Structure 1
Amino acid sequence: MNPRIHIYTMIAGVTLFLTACRHVSQSIKDTFNTLPEEQLVSSGANEGITGFVADEQALIQAEQILRALPQYGGHPIYLYGDIHFYDDGRINAKLQHPENPEYIDAYSYENGRWNGPSPVQRSVSDDLRGKLVALDSVPFRTVATIVRNYNEKAGTVIGANPTDHVYLIIRYGTTQWYPNHIDGTRELWQIYFHRDGSVASFNRK
């Protein structure tokens, strides 16, 4: 074989080998640096949502969606025990079953939709009647009133923070909104609300 042709053949072979190596190397990098498709979409619930507890319109919408659930069509809705509202758009609630008043179901709200129901186990000694309150008497928009009044008072206490979590406790036929205290750097205040969210009392401890 002509020595010159032999040299050209060897150079071509080495070039092809190096090119193949680069393709394999890039393929390996791509494999380890590429996330699965489902991970490219954020999995964080309600990511980016803030200010929900102070947003009266968003709270009204959440209540309207709840009332529109097929199982509650034509039935009054009663909250049981407690209901929690979070600044990232979540709500956790327990409701009396629309057909069997002895049953309680758990529901959760996030990303603009209600999930549930999930059955709640109850003891026969539970005070069912004392833990029920009609949703009509504590509409969700009340939460925005609580936040506004709480944060206004917190603004007068040095070192106190605004609230981003509001919840209602129902016991013995009465309702109590929380949080019910404001912690400052040097002072502690108690604050209580009427059912409609207006301030019932505000006293330093």
Structure 2
Amino acid sequence: MKRCLHIIVAPGIWICPFLLFISCQQLSQSITDTFNTKPEEAMQRGSDERITGFVTDAAALNHAERLLRELPQYSGKSIYLYADIHFYDDGRIMAKLQHPEKPDYVDAYNYQGGQWSGPIPVQLSVHDNILERLVALDSVPLQTAAKVVANYNEKAASIAGASSTDHVYLIIHHGITRWYPNRIDGSREAWDVFFNLDGSIASFVRN
């Protein structure tokens, strides 16, 4: 049983027993709340904290993909990326996906704070050839971004004055997929680095 006592702060100054009782109760409640916090509540509170290292974390990228595939509209369906997908080190992914029911439609989805938001309709022109700008998620898992970053930064580390990257993106155009960034600028040299769809290096050539 907790007991609150009269405390002398300085000669002639006493802490009011009632105020001290309130403080004790607040501390007790704070401890109780801490131990009774549900895991999902803790994750939600932590979602506002700054995240780093996401784009190099294959496990975190896999988790994001699993959550994407678990969205009700894509349950049991193939997912196709449209035009581009961006990966950021602060935990964000920005993607556009072909509509699961209407193949002529495209929706934008954003991943942030450990969850996907969307769908947000994307306006398309009658001149847009959707099929030329699609790639199956099965052929390029989200964890591929971590491999691209690792390979890019390994090459950048070998070039004097070059900077590493923590943002990568995939562009799909005319049936061709290409990872970016694909150029490394050093203080005295510049190199082009191209990647295969799986994130491995296809070519590394000095300009």
Which TM-score band applies after superposition, normalised by the shorter structure?
0.7 to 0.9
2:32 counterpart residue number: none
Give the secondary structure class of the aligned counterpart of 1:53. helix
1:173 counterpart residue number: 175
Q: Structure 1 counterpart of 2:173, which letter?
A: R
2:86 counterpart residue number: 84
Q: Which runs of 5+ in 2 are unaligned?
A: 1-44
Q: Structure 2 counterpart of 1:102, which letter?
A: D
Cα offsets for 1:56-97 (capped at 9, x unmatched): 000000000000000001110000000000000000000000
1:128 counterpart residue number: 130
Find the aligned partners of 1:72 and 1:164 in 2 and give their Cα distance. 29
Find the aligned partners of 1:61 and 1:153 in 2 and give their Cα distance. 28
1:53 counterpart residue number: 55
2:185 counterpart residue number: 183
Find the aligned partners of 1:199 and 1:77 in 2 and give their Cα distance. 25
1:117 to 119, 140, 163: 119
2:198 to 165, 184, 196: 196
Find the aligned partners of 1:151 and 1:47 in 2 and give their Cα distance. 26
2:147 to 142, 145, 148: 145
Deviation at 1:46, TM superposition (A): 5.2
Q: Which runs of 5+ in 1 are unaligned?
A: 1-42
Deviation at 1:177, TM superposition (A): 0.3
1:70 to 69, 72, 94: 72
Give the secondary structure class of the aligned counterpart of 1:65. helix
Find the aligned partners of 2:56 and 2:132 in 1 and give their Cα distance. 29
Describe the shift of the 1:144–1:99 C-alpha distance in structure 2 as closer, same or farther (beyond 3 A): same
Identity of aligned residues (%): 63
Taking the TM superposition and a 5 Å limit, the aligned residue runs for 1:36-47 are 47=49
If you compute each CA radius of gyration, which structure gives the higher value, 1 or 2? 1
Find the aligned partners of 1:75 and 1:46 in 2 and give their Cα distance. 31
Deviation at 1:174, TM superposition (A): 1.2
Find the aligned partners of 1:53 and 1:154 in 2 and give their Cα distance. 17
Q: Structure 1 counterpart of 2:81, which letter?
A: L
2:162 counterpart residue number: 160
1:102 counterpart residue number: 104
What TM-score do the two structures reach when normalised by structure 2? 0.77
Contact 1:94 1:105 in 2 (8 A): yes
What TM-score do the two structures reach when normalised by structure 1? 0.77
Deviation at 1:48, TM superposition (A): 2.1
